[in-house]
Chain A
Amino acid sequence: MEFEKPLPLQTPASQPYWEGLKNRKVCIQQCDDCATWIFYPRNHCTECLGNSLSWKEVSGEASLYSYTIARQPTAPHFADEIPQLLAIVELDQGVRMTSTLVGANPSDLRVGMRLRPHFDHMTDEVTLLRFAPLVANSE
């Protein structure tokens, strides 16, 4: 059986996010009413349910909130990525997102370590946002 990598299909709500990544920019939403930062993209604020949100470009710098090293693939589609370095990443604005780490030695991973965005152009249409250690690996 063929296992093509599952890629995101952008929606009207998320289009600016994926468009930003294509251009190597991290854009997330902020609530016009209460200034709460929001991720993933949607039409309502997660704090006040306000429906007026604005897109803002941010640096993409982040900290590692948690991670795991998957020693067996989470699905056959990811068999070539073993070990998968799955991460929960906290952007400096406080929002969290799921990602994977690149350019990192698994044994060097530490909760709280600083990260920078890594734009992974999967296709002409889709760029995934992965993260790399802010301080380059010594290897």
Chain B
Amino acid sequence: MGLRGDAAIVGFAEWPHVRRYTDEKQFTIDQWAELTRLALEDAGLSIKDVNGIVCSEIREADMFTPATIVEYLGRPVNFAERVDLGGANPVGMVWRAAAAIELGIADVVACTTPGRPIPSNPNRGPIDPRRYFQSSSHKWGSPQAEFEIPYGNLAQNCGYAMIAQRYAAEYDYKPEALAKLVAHQRDSAALNPLAAFYQKPISADDVLKSRMIADPLRMLEIVMPVAGGGAIIVASKEIANRCKHSPAWIKGFGEHLTMKTPTFAKDLCRSPVGPASDTAFDMAEIERHEIDACQIYDCYSITVLMTLEDAGFCEKGKGMDFLLDRDLGFDGDFPVNTHGGQLGMGQAGAAGGMTQVIESARQIMGRAGERQVPNCKNVYVSGTGGIMSEQAAVIMQGGGNGI
């Protein structure tokens, strides 16, 4: 079942993640084109090589997103997909691109996630107060409109907090372990010039002293919204072997969806990344202990803990001890989020999870500079959408020529 493993990430582009964006604002489609141009240049390819795209939502159109992008690029494609998995989009994009390439539908696929503000609309009307409901649908007939929004169960913080609270009731909850994880990631971000928290390390104690937002989650365990954006180019074996960088082969993937609102999870302490990761490891025929670095979606500290457990890197319920016992730095014995994660980079909307995908490829290509993991061959990357409601995992591998 699954991939042969001979499609690869061959290039990428990543804009600096900044808290306050002061440069010229561009529409999402402009950003899409610019990031794609930069990523193609990085790979040593041109737009003429592209015959597939994978996108997520853009601000300028609710429907027909791929066609809108293709028209703007001026480049007809054989494969166009819009992924709707929230934070899991980038990981979902990677495997869809690889699958299309292995099926022979496309040779070069651009996967792009813009995350900068767009120009303000001079004709915008009054602000609709329902905008504050964010990812909870207020449409007629929506279960969230009827059974969540009236109780104020909105946005992400409280959902993740309730997962953490349930975890605390079933297992051992150690705030100092999660604080240590955040501090490790901020150490890596301090070395990453693209990170919002570049040169701004913090201690575990800083995390524990930060403001409580939704018990038991504190401010420094929660991502900060920023402007940014990223893109990757996925290519066939034939093309990958003549690109500029050593390819990051896509060896296995898995995806699993269970619900929209955590209230309806069968078991709040078992996240969908479990089945997704099992599928990915089986497909890649790689064991957990062979992984050299993990790039784990980290909208919150608790997401990393749950992923480490459910993806099988440590025993269920023992994740807190794992965090305390292991060194998660890029130079540690279990490197996690070597770019600083989103807790260190900041979260540029849909582009947040792309930082993990790009860092996976960067480490495999040996381009991580000061924070390079030595001999980094196998990388596990996860994506999380909604409130651990939809998750995906990909395993990438360096070396060889795709056989």
Contact = CB atoms under 8 A, between A and B. Distances in A.
Nearest to B134: A75
Nearest to B147: A40
A100 B149 CA distance: 11
Contacts of B217: 68
B129 A112 contact: no
Interface residues of A, number: 41
B145 interface: yes
A98 B129 contact: no
Nearest to A69: B215
Q: Which of A1, A78, A86, A100 has the most CB of B within 10 A?
A: A86
A66 B163 contact: yes
A88 B263 contact: yes
B270 to A, nearest CB: 14
B154 interface: yes
B-side binding surface: helix, strand, loop or mixed? helix
B154 A75 contact: yes
A86 B166 contact: no
Given A10-B146, A86-B162, A88-B263, A69 B151 contact: no
Interface string A1-17: 11111111111001000
A75 B145 contact: no
B151 A65 contact: no
Contact of B157 (A70, A110, A111): A70
Contacts of B138: 6
A9 B169 CA distance: 35
A72 B215 CA distance: 11
B156 to A, nearest CB: 10
Contacts of B262: 88
Nearest to B127: A1
A99 B151 contact: yes
A40 B143 contact: yes
A110 B157 CA distance: 19
A128 interface: yes
Interface string B140-176: 1101011111111111011001110110110000000
Nearest to B166: A66
B234 to A, nearest CB: 37
A81 interface: yes
Contact of A77 (B127, B140, B143, B152): B152
A9 B146 contact: yes
B105 interface: no
Interface in A61-84: 65-78, 81, 84
B212 interface: yes
A96 interface: yes
Contact of B151 (A11, A66, A86): A86
Given A40-B147, A69-B214, A70-B158, A2 B129 contact: yes
B132 A112 contact: no
A88 B264 CA distance: 9
A62 to B, nearest CB: 12
B141 A86 contact: no
Nearest to A42: B143
A14 B153 contact: no
B372 interface: no
A97 interface: yes
Contacts of A6: 130, 133, 138, 145, 149-150
12 contacts: A8-B145, A66-B165, A68-B162, A70-B152, A73-B152, A75-B154, A75-B155, A76-B132, A77-B132, A86-B162, A111-B168, A128-B151
Given A76-B132, A111-B168, 15 more contacts: A3-B129, A6-B150, A7-B150, A8-B147, A9-B146, A66-B169, A67-B162, A68-B161, A69-B215, A74-B157, A75-B155, A86-B151, A88-B268, A98-B263, A111-B165
A-B residue pairs, 8 tightest by C-beta: A111-B169, A68-B161, A66-B166, A75-B132, A78-B152, A74-B154, A66-B162, A8-B146
